[in-house]
Amino acid sequence: MGFGRLILANWLNRDVMMNKKILVVDNSPVILRLMENFLSREGHYVLCAVDGLEALEILQKFRPDVIFVDLVMPKIPGEKLCRVIKTMPELAKAYVIVLSAVAVEQELDFASFGAHACIAKGPFKEVEKHILALFASLDRGEADQVSKDVIGTENVFKRIVTEELLSVKKHFDATLVHMHEGFLELTPAGQIVSLNPAAARLLGETEEKVLSRHLCEFFDVTHVGLLKDCCAQLDGRPVSLGEEQPFMLNGRYILMTLFCLAEYEQNSIIVIFQDIDDRKRAEQELKSHRDHLEYLVEQRTSEIISQHQSLVKEVQRRQKIEVEKQKLEASLRQTHKMEALGTLAAGIAHDFNNILTAVIGFTELCQLEVHDRQPLYDNLEQVKKAGRRARDLIKNILTFSRKKEQEFHPTHVQIALREVLKLLKASVQSNIHIREDIDVECGPILADTTQLHQIILNLCTNAFYAMRGKGGVLTVRLEEVERPRLGSEGDSVPLVKFVKLTITDTGVGIEPALLEKIFDPYFSTKEPGEGTGMGLAVVHGIVSSHGGQITVERVPGEGSSFAVFFPELPSGEGQKNLVEHRLMKGSESILVVDDDAAILDATTQILQALGYQVHAVGNSKEALQVFEACNGEFDLVITDQEMPGINGTELAAQLIVLRPDVSIILCTGYGQYLSEEQIQAFGIKHLLLKPFYFPELASAVRKVLDG
């Protein structure tokens, strides 16, 4: 910083104009003194700088006409100084002359880094002569004619040592250029005096714009304090920044290694940049993945623990219901067996009724012939009495098989129960006590009242018989319970409400081997002549026809317990609708079409029984003829889908052409199922799947007729 600044300050205060303003940059004090004396004697104003850094500070205020630059200097060498000067618009007219001793030892393309001429350092008198000659050319305006080669090399000999040193420097410079790491040299104050291309890329500026600037300018305030503290405490050992805590440069993670370099009694700071952005971001991503994985493992572990706990609870729950499941399976087997027996009994009863009709009829014919023959007539009357007993027996068989017609109405079991118990109390023996536990809030069921009385009376009578002689307690309990719908399987089946009637006695009980036979027809544990064996079979048939279930439990020596489950009617309109479905009648005219004579006859009789006027035909062609002949005056058409020739949907299409507002119900078996969208496209009002039952047909007809 020495005398150059002092002279500059003095010059800025002078009024005398000099021939040329000249800046001489050289790290040799001898050369600086010789150049200053020589040029001053020639009438020029001269400033001197000992290195490139000081020269840049002078050039901030001083605009020289000529700049002499030495190539080999500390703190921004001559070549880089020339490149910086070349980028400064305010020095565009300055004439740059390289004054170098190395120009003799190596080929020098001084024009490539912005110099206009180059004079080799040799005997100073020769240097003076070349400078004067060069100035004379400039004064004549012949700057373009100045030699593009190094001037004055003919009187200077090459020095082998210098040439080798230059070769080493060239190799070192080439290494710096191709390094991936950034390399910087700083002054102790932190000014950048040298850097390689990698450092310039990391700093985000060209080399010329970076030189002489402070390194701290390129970092944000969060890092500047740390960087200054690190530089102030440097000694001979390298210090790294950015490994343990993030150190950012232009948005990228870097690793900085700093150490001091003492050379020629001058200290400088060497900084090496390593771009570790990819590694740091990969580490962060890896950490993020690891954290996420740990979170997933923790979450999954929690789920497994929760699932394990749920599984333990589920196992415990299933263990608790295993006994109940076995009871239900036994009950299901019993139900299947009773259904099979019922089917068999119904067939036998049907055939037996035909036989019985003939027997009674022919008996009455015989009585007409022998009415005056008293012994024979009386014998035939006994045959008729036996026929009546047989007819009553058939009624029981039909009730067991659930073929007997029933009249269902919404009924409260508690009312029927109190009526029956009132009658039983008057006839029960004195050593039997009746205990009642009746929930009066139980909802209604859909039942035949007469048969409901029969169930209660039969079960209570059997209980009295089991306690005859020694007496006991008859417990009658009525309550609401929730359980899966009968016939449903699986753990996720929704629960529905049932009214549960339990009749328990403290009699002799039932042997385990007899439990599966207790509801079989003609099976009885009573003494011969004391029972027919049809009581519990009839009860089972009645309960099943009501959609319910009956079970029995016993403990030897402690009595028996019968439980009857009736499905409870839903509240409000649900009860009303269930009753109405069984009583849906009408008087409209209906055309029935089916190619199966049996189905056609059955459907016709059912509809007629409901009060409808029915016209039945056996094929689609005949149906069209009848429909046209009657001018379409039918309130409803019920047609089968699977018919030869014209099927049901085709017939529906033709009927709609004849009368667009005609109402049609299509019947089909499982083989050809049509969706709601398809039947609507055909103009059909309702789809009825075969086989259908009486209430289903009645409900479908009224649904369509009522819109």
Superfamily of domain 179-275: PAS domain (3.30.450.20)
Q: What whole-number distance in Å separates Cα of residue 682 and Cα of residue 704?
A: 15
Q: Give pLDDT, residue 496.
A: 82
Q: What whole-number distance in Å separates Cα of residue 134 and Cα of residue 361?
A: 159
Instruction: Average the pLDDT over each of 8-12, 192-196, 486-490 and give the range with the smallest value.
Output: 8-12
Residue 158: phi and psi, rounded to 5, are: -65, 145
Q: What is the pLDDT of residues 18-35, one digit of tens each?
A: 589 999 999 888 888 988
Q: Residue 655 — pLDDT band, cuts 50, 70, 90?
A: very high
* pLDDT greater than 50 at residue 16: no
Q: What is the pLDDT of residues 621-650, one digit of tens each?
A: 999 999 999 887 899 999 998 889 898 889
| The CATH number of domain 584-705, selected from 3.40.50.2000, 3.40.50.2300, 3.40.50.720, 3.40.190.10 | 3.40.50.2300
Q: Residue 377 — pLDDT band, cuts 50, 70, 90?
A: confident
Helices (H) and strands (E) in the chain, counts: 20, 23
Q: Give pLDDT, residue 14.
A: 43
Q: Partners of 617 in the beta sheet?
A: 593
- Tell me the CB-side half-sphere exposure of residue 198, using CA atoms within 13 A: 18
Instruction: Average the pLDDT over each of 30-39, 69-78, 567-576 and give the range with the smallest value.
Output: 567-576
What's the CATH code, domain 409-574?
Answer: 3.30.565.10
Which of 268, 266, 87, 250 is CA-nearest to residue 193? 268
- Tell me the CB-side half-sphere exposure of residue 259, using CA atoms within 13 A: 8
What's the CATH code, domain 2-161?
Answer: 3.40.50.2300
* pLDDT greater than 80 at residue 231: no
Q: What is the pLDDT of residues 318-356, one digit of tens each?
A: 887 777 666 666 665 666 555 665 555 555 654 555 455
- The H or E element that residue 281 is part of is helix 277-369
Q: What is the pLDDT of residues 261-276, one digit of tens each?
A: 766 556 778 788 877 7
Q: Residue 421 — pLDDT band, cuts 50, 70, 90?
A: confident
Q: Residue 111 — pLDDT band, cuts 50, 70, 90?
A: confident
* pLDDT greater than 60 at residue 396: no
304: left (phi over 0), alpha (psi -120 to 50) or beta: alpha
* pLDDT greater than 60 at residue 311: yes
Rounded mean pLDDT of 473-486? 86
User: Would you say 611 and 585 are in contact if contact means Cβ atoms under 8 Å apart?
Assistant: yes
Instruction: Average the pLDDT over each of 75-89, 196-210, 451-465, 577-591 and give the range with the smallest value.
Output: 577-591
Q: What is the pLDDT of residues 128-172, one digit of tens each?
A: 888 998 898 888 888 777 778 888 777 665 554 344 444 445 555
Q: Residue 298 — pLDDT band, cuts 50, 70, 90?
A: confident
pTM: 0.36
